[in-house]
Structure 1
């Protein structure tokens, strides 16, 4: 039995990763860590440990102690911060990881740097611009047009993101975040108005092994953010989009031709309907990984097997059909439905 350590196991993404391993045909011994001990009540774990933050000097000793105590074979970091920390520490851990290279993790977690590489590779049209002051905002408006997209250069969940329709409003937004979170660096990018797409993929030494596309249709509590993006969808649907896959593959290879591990690519369509990458979450899964598992494609399970040298069979890699909906919300159970199975019918008004 493989013994797996999942960090950030108490967050929704960690819970869904653990649930996917529990859905696998073989058993796993799963240990979870989280900085919030109460959140560790959610995932179905064999053992749980409250963790220090990953920037705490005690973090490495904590990991080493849990790995030794629980005889861990494999470590999966789920939050971005812990992906970065464990990526940097991997050579000091007596357990396997299946992470992209250290430099690839650094680039993917910097939206400005990844945007620059994509522009050079021709997968993005417009530049990604560092924004520190009002002059940078004015330059962004000149080069990108108004509105443009302003957001934190690092971080998940649409951190500090907003469309800038007015430079004065954009300046006050920037200043608010600079005062309240001075460590945040900002990037301005083209505002892409089309469909919000996600590409989950698994790689080994530059070869794409497994992938699936979905579209986000609605976010949880979108009214709580000026961008309408709050980090995780309440409604998503599988899509058959070869154009999205081709673009996402180019985006990954523009950053790392020898890509290995998980690469979850966010994309949006431009005004012409062409998908464009907006960021890559590498080394960890999107929040709703259990969506595909419930539909019959258990990518977290394939990922752990690949870490131990196994190669999935063709039967393991069958793409999901278009039109499977994943419907979820706070305190509401996640449901998998086809369009034909939805109970509500459109009302026709006289």
Structure 2
């Protein structure tokens, strides 16, 4: 029988049942017993919390007490690995990374300087462009007002710190542009063409080991609902550029690309965490969850690029019942 060796905490677990299942499958392949803890604002209403071994209530991730609540769970339960799942919690946790290290837990979060870049879409674009990564032309609100034709029309607008497809807009001309917005916005060339997610795994030594693109065939609430893995050398080269631009990024990350028929592939955003479509990469043989566990266990990391192409994922609604 496997001996209990690790405890994992999945933060903001929500509906991430697929991610939880990937970690359970990884533990089976490794021959270890993995206890999965999950937390959320209202764990009784979280499907992932319902299927975890134990669940905890925590404040919202923008609450000043959020990081302490996560640290308390880690300390009280001897958690070995902490995996955040949404963008707004990355900086609060990264800011106390040393506290997690003192507790002997690996926090799967990039350093604060990386989070500052990836949480600001304008800064992301500037950083990537400086490293030679293809990105759409981008401007802030004032810059666009000062030079209305700099990007051409129509333009695509999104909150600079947004996520989950929140606040996306398209403006056809300068006359449609409001004088002000409730939050900082970034304006970009409107790209057309198929959209891809590129999942990447960087080992703890800083080597880019795996790049798994998948075509986002259909999207719902900002996450891929139908997708298919593809191999493309140009996407691998772009991932290498992202790695150069953000050398402190380790573990799991993903970025979005639109393959515009005129401009070619352009990176539109980066997520320094497991993406919502990660289970597709895992099913195709890119076992990011397993490789993280191997690193936490101090075992040789089996990260490789030998995953299967043309693996299709068709998500559907399911349910978890209680009572």
TM-score, normalised relative to structure 2: 0.87
Any idea what the Cα deviations from partners look like across 1:55-97, whole Å, max 9, x if unmatched? Answer: 3232233223211221111111111111221111111222222
Distance in 2 (alpha carbons) for counterparts of 1:303 and 1:213: 19
Distance in 2 (alpha carbons) for counterparts of 1:209 and 1:100: 17
Any idea what the Cα deviations from partners look like across 1:29-49, whole Å, max 9, x if unmatched? Answer: 111000122333435211100
| Residue 217 of structure 1 pairs with residue 205 of structure 2 | no
Distance in 2 (alpha carbons) for counterparts of 1:125 and 1:52: 36
Distance 1:71 1:122, change over 3 A: closer
Distance 1:166 1:289, change over 3 A: same
Any idea what the Cα deviations from partners look like across 1:171-221, whole Å, max 9, x if unmatched? Answer: 2xx75xx3xxx3x2100112221220111111134310222110101122x
Distance in 1 (alpha carbons) for counterparts of 2:289 and 2:147: 39
The corresponding residue for 2:9 is 5
Any idea what the Cα deviations from partners look like across 1:4-23, whole Å, max 9, x if unmatched? Answer: 1111112x3x3222111111
Q: For the aligned residues, what is the CA RMSD?
A: 2.3
| Residue 251 of structure 1 pairs with residue 242 of structure 2 | yes
TM-score, normalised relative to structure 1: 0.80
Residue from 117, 126, 131 that aligns with 1:116: 126
Q: Work out whether residues 125 and 268 of structure 2, in 8 Å CA contact, stay in contact via their aligned partners in 1.
A: yes
Counterpart of 1:212 in 2: which secondary structure? strand
Distance in 2 (alpha carbons) for counterparts of 1:331 and 1:18: 15
Residue segments in structure 1 that go unaligned for 5+ positions in a row: 221-229, 334-350
Residue segments in structure 2 that go unaligned for 5+ positions in a row: none
The corresponding residue for 2:88 is 81
Counterpart of 2:89 in 1: which secondary structure? helix
Distance 1:198 1:115, change over 3 A: same
Distance 1:59 1:151, change over 3 A: same
Distance 1:245 1:146, change over 3 A: same
